[in-house]
Chain A
Amino acid sequence: MHVNSESILSVKNLTKSVQVEDKTLALLQAINLTVTAGESIAIVGSSGSGKTTLLSILAGLDLPSSGQVYLKNQPLHQFNEEQRSHVRAQHVGFIFQQFLLINSLTALENVMLPAELANLPDAQARGEALLAQVGLSDRLDHYPSQLSGGEQQRVAIARAFIAKPDILFADEPTGNLDSKTGQHITDLIFDLNAKEGTTLVLVTHDAKLAARCQRQVEMDSGVLTETSVEQAVTTEHSSVEATQVADSAAESKAVENTASEVG
Chain B
Amino acid sequence: MKTDNHKASTMWFTQSLRLLHHELRRGELTIIFLAIVLAVATVFSLTGFSGQIKHAIVANSTNTIGADRVLRMSSEIDSHILDKSQSLALKTARKIETESMAFAGDNMLLSELDAVSETYPLRGELRIKTSLTQTESVVANAPKPGTVWVEPSLLSRLGVNIGDVIEIGVAPLTIAGVVTDIPDRSYRAFIAGPTVILNINDMAKTELIQPGSRITYKYLFAGETQAIETFEDWIKPQINEAQRWYDAKAAQNRLSRILDTAEKFLSLASMLGIVLAAVAVAVASRRYGQRHQSTVSIFKALGATISHVRKLYCLHWTLLSCLSIATGLLVGYGLMLLGVNAIASYLSLADSPLTFVPFLTAIFTGLLCAIAFAIHPIMTLVQSSPLNVIRGFSQNKVARLGWHQLPPLLALFLLLFIFSQDLIMSAALLLGGVFVSFILLLFGKGLMSAGRSVGTKAGKSWHLALANLKRRASENSVQLVSFTIAIKLLLLITVMKSSILSEWEQQFPEGTPNHYLINISEAQIAPLKQFAEQNDIANQGFYHVYRGRLSAINGIKTVDEAKEDIQEPSEAASASKEKQAAKKTAQKKSRQGMGRELGLTWRTELPEENEIIAGQWWQVGEDKPQVSIESNIAERLEIKLGDELTFTLGSDEFTVPVTSIRQVNWQSRQLNFIMVFNQSVLEQFPTTSISAWSISDQDRDMVYRFMADFPTITLMDFAAIMAQLNNIIEQVSVAIQLILILVVLAGSLVLIAQVQASMEERERELAILRTLGARGGLLRNSVLFEFVALGGIAGLMASIGMEIAVYILQSQVFNMAGSFHFQYWLVGIGAGAFFVGLIGMLSCWRLLNLSSVTLIRRTM
Contact = CB atoms under 8 A, between A and B. Distances in A.
B387 A62 contact: yes
Given A56-B390, A62-B387, A104-B23, A117 B304 contact: yes
Contacts of B386: 61, 81, 85, 88
B391 interface: yes
Given A61-B301, A105-B18, A116-B11, A55 B390 contact: yes
Interface string B261-298: 00000000000000000000000000000000011001
Nearest to B25: A104
B387 A255 contact: no
Contact of A116 (B15, B23, B306): B15
Interface in B496-549: none
7 closest residue pairs by CB, A with B:
A89-B303, A259-B392, A88-B303, A258-B392, A56-B390, A104-B22, A262-B392
A27 to B, nearest CB: 12
Given A96-B389, A102-B298, 9 more contacts: A85-B386, A102-B294, A104-B19, A106-B22, A116-B14, A117-B303, A119-B11, A258-B392, A260-B392
Contacts of B304: 85, 89, 117
Contact of B7 (A82, A87, A119): A119
B475 interface: no
Contacts of A86: 303, 305
Interface string B646-684: 000000000000000000000000000000000000000
B588 interface: no
B306 A85 contact: yes
B294 A85 contact: no
A90 B860 CA distance: 34
B392 A82 contact: no
A92 B303 contact: yes
A255 B11 CA distance: 34
Contact of A171 (B7, B14, B307, B390): B390
Interface string B834-860: 000000000000000000000000111
Interface in A80-126: 81-82, 85-90, 92, 94, 96, 100-106, 109, 113-114, 116-119
A226 B310 CA distance: 42
A263 B18 contact: no
B302 A88 contact: yes
Interface in B381-398: 386-387, 389-393, 395
Contacts of B300: 85
Nearest to A90: B303
Nearest to B14: A116
B8 A105 contact: no
Nearest to B305: A85
A88 B390 CA distance: 15
Contacts of B257: none
Contacts of A92: 303
Contacts of B78: none
Contact of B303 (A85, A101, A261): A85
A151 B322 CA distance: 37
A89 B302 contact: yes
B312 to A, nearest CB: 11
Given A89-B304, A116-B11, A94 B389 contact: yes
Nearest to A87: B303
Nearest to A261: B392
Contacts of B28: 104
B396 to A, nearest CB: 12
A105 B295 CA distance: 10
A82 B305 contact: yes
Contacts of A94: 301-302, 389
Contact of B393 (A85, A101, A262): A262
A105 B316 CA distance: 14
Contacts of B11: 116-117, 119
A225 interface: no
Given A94-B302, A119-B11, A262-B395, A109 B18 contact: yes
B245 interface: no
Contacts of A171: 390
A153 interface: no
B4 interface: yes
24 contacts: A53-B390, A56-B391, A61-B389, A62-B387, A62-B390, A82-B305, A85-B304, A85-B305, A92-B303, A94-B389, A100-B294, A100-B298, A102-B294, A104-B19, A104-B22, A104-B26, A104-B28, A104-B295, A258-B391, A259-B391, A261-B764, A262-B393, A263-B858, A263-B860
A52 interface: yes
A81 B391 CA distance: 17
A86 B306 CA distance: 10
